[in-house]
């Protein structure tokens, strides 16, 4: 979901405060929960990025390389992150998948939350901001408080962001590395094989039960047998030998023209 520009202040009646939500079983779980709000947050960002969002105002002729935007109303809800500038009557709603990184940071202006905000769908899929242009990834620090309450306010802000981000994971991340690998076992070199009868729930393949399973090659290729199966297991796999049988078995070696034989003794 992309970011949304809003022109009216969010309606507080639409949200259930976190303390109320936690104090009793809610009548409905469809009401968004307000985890954190601060009406006087100061944003600090690079002047070169101030034109990316309308909430920052006009800073084309800013003499400094850094822009400070005070009076931002921040809402951390269970649905999205809202940054609203009441002086300009404009704000943005950001999905949590756009918040690619957040951390507590202390800068000369005070202690706050550093955030990387992805402004495009492709940038939202990574936290490596060096792979994108400045127009794709916005970096800013939000300073929600000062004085004695600074640490408490920043900690509450950080916890709200973390909890809500966990409630809204990126649906494209989970399982992406294993796509198309259902029921397969990967081996060194990239060979894929299916394993029939694999013991479920964390079972183990041992010398006693290895003969019960069969590997089949998925893609074919080098090492393919005549039947098309990939012979992961060599001859004799699954055979269980007793110690007495091993002791009776003779081994042979031919050196030059003379045949040498011996038998292992205990």
The pLDDT of residue 2: 72
Residues 30 and 154 grouped into a single domain: yes
User: Residue 131: exposed, middle, or buried by beta-carbon count in 10 A (0-12, 13-18, 19+)?
Assistant: exposed
pLDDT at 201 over 80: no
In a domain, 55, yes or no: yes
Question: 19 falls in which pLDDT band (50, 70, 90)?
Answer: confident
Residues 198 and 92 grouped into a single domain: no
Residue at a domain's end among 150, 167, 184: 167
pLDDT at 225 over 80: no
Question: 105 falls in which pLDDT band (50, 70, 90)?
Answer: very high
The pLDDT of residue 74: 96
Residues 12 and 100 grouped into a single domain: yes
Please name which of 169, 168, 166, 164 lies closest in space to residue 76, comparing C-alpha atoms.
164
Handedness of CA 228, 231, 235, 240 (dihedral sign): negative
Residues 122 and 22 grouped into a single domain: yes
The pLDDT of residue 153: 95
How many domains are there within the chain?
2
Percent helix, strand and coil across the chain, each to the nearest 5: 20, 35, 45
pLDDT at 169 over 50: yes
* Tokens read off for 47: 């002047």
Whole-number mean pLDDT of the chain? 74
In a domain, 65, yes or no: yes
Express each pLDDT in 86-98 by its tens digit: 999 999 999 999 9
In a domain, 219, yes or no: yes
Residues 19 and 66 grouped into a single domain: yes
Residues 78 and 141 grouped into a single domain: yes
Residues 129 and 236 grouped into a single domain: no
Q: pTM score, two decimals?
A: 0.60
Please name which of 227, 226, 230 lies closest in space to residue 191, comparing C-alpha atoms.
230
* Tokens read off for 116: 């990387």
Residues 116 and 65 grouped into a single domain: yes
What domain range includes position 87? Answer: 4-167
In a domain, 187, yes or no: no
User: What are the C-alpha distances in Å from 93 to residues 75, 81, 88, 166, 201?
Assistant: 9, 6, 15, 17, 43
Express each pLDDT in 51-95 by its tens digit: 999 999 988 777 788 999 999 999 999 999 999 999 999 999 999
Residue at a domain's end among 167, 202, 223: 167
pLDDT at 189 over 60: no
């Amino acid at each position: 979901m992309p970011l949304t520009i809003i022109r009216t202040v969010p309606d507080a009646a639409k949200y259930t405060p976190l303390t109320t939500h936690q104090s009793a079983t809610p009548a409905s779980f469809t009401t968004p929960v307000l985890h954190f709000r601060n009406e006087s947050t100061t944003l600090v960002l690079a002047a070169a990025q101030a034109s990316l969002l309308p909430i920052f105002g006009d800073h084309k002729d800013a003499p400094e390389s850094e822009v400070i935007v005070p009076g931002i109303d921040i809402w951390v809800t269970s649905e999205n992150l809202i940054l609203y500038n009441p002086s300009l009557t404009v704000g943005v709603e950001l999905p949590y998948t756009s918040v690619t990184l957040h951390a507590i940071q202390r800068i000369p202006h005070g202690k706050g939350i550093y955030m990387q905000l992805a402004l495009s769908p492709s940038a939202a899929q990574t936290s490596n901001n060096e792979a994108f242009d400045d127009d794709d990834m916005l970096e800013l620090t939000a300073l929600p408080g000062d004085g004695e309450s600074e640490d408490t306010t920043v900690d509450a802000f950080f916890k709200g962001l973390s909890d809500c981000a966990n409630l809204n994971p990126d649906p494209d991340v989970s399982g992406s590395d294993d796509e198309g690998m259902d029921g397969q076992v990967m081996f060194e070199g990239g060979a894929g094989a299916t394993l029939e009868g694999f013991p479920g729930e964390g079972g183990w393949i041992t010398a006693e039960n290895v003969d019960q399973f069969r590997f089949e090659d998925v893609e074919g290729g080098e090492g393919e047998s005549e039947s098309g199966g990939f012979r992961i297991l060599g001859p004799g796999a699954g055979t269980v030998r007793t110690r007495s049988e091993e002791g009776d078995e003779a081994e042979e070696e031919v050196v030059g023209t003379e045949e040498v034989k011996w038998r292992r003794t205990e």
